[in-house]
Chains A and B, each alone.
Chain A
Amino acid sequence: MSTTSNNAGMPWSVALVGNPNCGKTALFNLLTGARQKVANYAGVTVERKIGSTRLANGQSVSVIDLPGTYSLTPATPDEQVTLEVIEGKRRGEDAPDAVVAVVDATNLRMNLRLVLELKRMGRPMMVALNMADMARAQGLNIDVAKLGAELGCPVVETVAVRHDGHAELLELMQREFAAARPTQLAASDFAPSTPAELQREVRRILAIVEPGITTEFANAKRFHHRLDAVVMHPVWGLAILAAVLFLIFQAVFSWANVPMDAIKAGMAWAGEWVTAHMADGPLRSLLVDGAIAGLGSVIVFLPQILILFFFILILEDSGYLPRAAFLLDNLMGKVGLSGRAFIPLLSSFACAIPGIMATRTIANWKDRLATIMIAPLMTCSARLPVYALLIGAFVPDRSVGIFNLRGLTLFGLYVAGVVSAMLVAWVFKRIWIKSRYQPLMLELPPYRMPGARNLALGLMERAHIFLARVGGIIFALMVILWFLSSYPAPPTGASGPAIQYSIAGWLGQALQHVFAPIGFNWQISIALVPGLAAREVAVGALGTVYSMSAAGGEVADALAPVIAKGWSLATAYSLLAWYVFAPQCISTLAVVKRETNSWRYPLLMAAYLFVLAYAAAFVTYRVSVALGGG
């Protein structure tokens, strides 16, 4: 749309464009507050962030936050989207009325290249000289008027971390839109310029707007070299990193337990309340076992997600995260992963869902995909109840040196997960996507104090994405699973557990033929079906199957002695091996679908995990039987 025709109630629109780390998202947050929506551009995994801001005259302006980019050469999906949106060529997106080029005032040498490229596109443009306060504190006296004259467009200072730091930009927008200048159409199609050509122009402009500033002078004030000497030190840096990782692991693993238990208790209470106040029947069962249980299984992940992202956002905003990635890059690079993969993988020990959501910090798509694919191999906390049950039932409580055999077994299962993740990553990168070498080119921005506004909005955004996008899929699948486990109802006078007569029961009986070669009996096969919901549910399901089987006779004691008596050692080991890979977690597959924007990858993930789980269980079972464990 052209600016002249934009009078009939359609809000004006601006697009924020800038280099990564220029404070663009902070400025977007300041402009739009909580009035923002996050989605994906159709067909790609590039995030589409849109919000609105209000000018002094009451006019509303819609603001698009385009992905951070170093140039307009469309080499990555991010840059492709940025270019297409500005040009109005992206399907379903109107071209913005104006472009706001967000510039880190402390690093004009780099940021102005993108501004010059944007200028050549010929769209109406404003420049926001962000972090103007820091530039001044660092002794960079930028002549704003001269910069505007050289660039040929209005320039204002902004401070995205101050509550009124966008005042000048709002005034400028009002003036620009009131003038309603007709859109200057680019004479020809936009052709990217070479960086060298752009840099010559940047050097010329810098000599005019901040004369006498040398890089040595600028960098001495900009970077905290003495802090970096410790944080990026080969020994001290790794020690600090280990402490930070330990803190995050501790927080996600144990602090989240309190709110998670509260959510579980709340849902149990709600279920009981409905049970007490409703007549028995299919509707009550749907509400209690389907809807309430389904809702509970969605929001129970929220504490872990919020705690993890609290840390990630602080580490990211402060500039520590890329430095940690720098320290670990060599190690992770050996299996073809990026240094940035460590936080998603670490969090996957608590739960793969926040872990997979955290892969967004990995810019390279193939690196990100490889990390997503191996995240479920990290032993998540939902597998602990299964491990605990089986180890408690089958592994003797015996000392091995200073260690305990049960503890060693558990440790071995964790190691098995990590080792197989490394192998899968290696195979994935070398064979499937055939990328031998990925450049790092990781920017290490100056340290900055994280702001509370960005932290709060960032957490809200993640919670919203999880509840709205993933929650819906999980909830729907939970209700379907309830249906499968409840219907058809057992015939009157039936002696077996109700689930045995349901569709889930039939499935389990049918699956028994599939699982017999790896030593699973029909009870395990049935328990695997509701175990699709979450891995720990398999324990409860086993309990149901066994206790209900014994319904006619004595009440079953704890599950452990029952299975210790009923299962062979080979079956137990086989089930343990199965759970190292355990493909059946619907929530994980749902989040992979959301993060990769396609069903291809969750299906591929389920398939490869199933094959690995089956193969590992088969080998374990056969070897155990051969050794006399049958």
Chain B
Amino acid sequence: MRIRMRTNPATTTMLLNELPNGAHATVTRVAPASDEVDAVSLRRLAEIGFIPGEPVQLLRRGPGGREPLAVLIGDTLFGLRLLEARCVEVSTDLDARAA
């Protein structure tokens, strides 16, 4: 599996919560974005499917337009708050997707 680096200027890597509604992307990395997200939450993110190489689509946001976010990860739809969505790095370059 190829993991695109943030430093590579040819690809667009961003955080999951920065995607516009409806956008497709591929998970590249799951990393803590703040002290409030502990190791258990990070592990849980991976367990529910936020794994490098998995296809992801941000469907919509909750009332107010900020959070929660409705995210299709693989074939499963999850509601995430901003804090945990910020822990997921994605690439909008769909070639990064694993088979």
Query: CB within 8 Å of B: which residues of A?
Result: 70-71, 73, 75, 106-110, 113, 194-196, 199-200, 203, 207, 215, 218-219, 222-223, 225, 228-229, 232, 234-235, 237-238, 322, 325-327, 329-330, 333, 339, 436-437, 439-446
User: Is the pair B48, A439 in contact by a Cβ cutoff of 8 Å?
Assistant: no
Q: Is B99 an interface residue (CB 8 A)?
A: yes
Task: List 16 A–B pairs whose Cβ atoms lie within 8 Å, in order of A's numbering.
Answer: A73-B43, A75-B40, A107-B75, A107-B76, A109-B74, A109-B76, A215-B74, A219-B57, A234-B63, A326-B70, A327-B62, A330-B62, A330-B63, A339-B68, A437-B36, A444-B70
Q: Mark B60-91, 1 if CB is under 8 A from A, else 0.
A: 10111111101010111111110110000000
Known contacts A439-B37, A440-B81; decide if A203 and B48 are in contact (CB<8 Å): no
Indicate which residue in B55, B63, B74 contacts A110 across the interface (CB closer than 8 Å). Answer: B74
Report B-chain residues with C-beta under 8 Å of the C-beta of A218.
Answer: 75
Q: Is B32 an interface residue (CB 8 A)?
A: no
Report B-chain residues with C-beta under 8 Å of the C-beta of A219.
Answer: 57, 72, 75
User: Is the pair A196, B46 in contact by a Cβ cutoff of 8 Å?
Assistant: yes
Report A-chain residues with C-beta under 8 Å of the C-beta of B80.
Answer: 439-441
Count contacts on B: residues with CB < 8 A to the other chain. 41
Closest Cβ of chain A to B40, distance in Å, is 5
Give Cα A113 to B81, complex, Å.
24
Indicate which residue in A109, A327, A439 contacts B81 across the interface (CB closer than 8 Å). Answer: A439
Report A-chain residues with C-beta under 8 Å of the C-beta of B66.
Answer: 330
Report B-chain residues with C-beta under 8 Å of the C-beta of A194.
Answer: 46
Closest Cβ of chain B to A214, distance in Å, is 9
Report A-chain residues with C-beta under 8 Å of the C-beta of B98.
Answer: 203
Complex A-B, nearest 8 residue pairs according to Cβ-Cβ distance, in ascending order: A195-B46, A234-B63, A442-B79, A437-B36, A71-B47, A444-B77, A326-B79, A109-B74
Closest Cβ of chain A to B56, distance in Å, is 9
Closest Cβ of chain B to A170, distance in Å, is 29
Known contacts A195-B51, A238-B63, A441-B84; decide if A106 and B75 are in contact (CB<8 Å): yes
Give Cα A218 to B73, complex, Å.
12
User: Is the pair A222, B68 in contact by a Cβ cutoff of 8 Å?
Assistant: no
Known contacts A207-B99, A326-B68; decide if A109 and B75 are in contact (CB<8 Å): yes
User: Is the pair B75, A199 in contact by a Cβ cutoff of 8 Å?
Assistant: no
Closest Cβ of chain B to A491, distance in Å, is 66
Indicate which residue in B1, B54, B64, B78 contacts A444 across the interface (CB closer than 8 Å). Answer: B78
User: Is the pair B76, A443 in contact by a Cβ cutoff of 8 Å?
Assistant: yes
User: Is the pair B76, A333 in contact by a Cβ cutoff of 8 Å?
Assistant: no
Give Cα A223 to B73, complex, Å.
13
User: Is the pair B75, A437 in contact by a Cβ cutoff of 8 Å?
Assistant: no
Q: Mark B12-37, 1 if CB is under 8 A from A, else 0.
A: 00000000000000000000000011
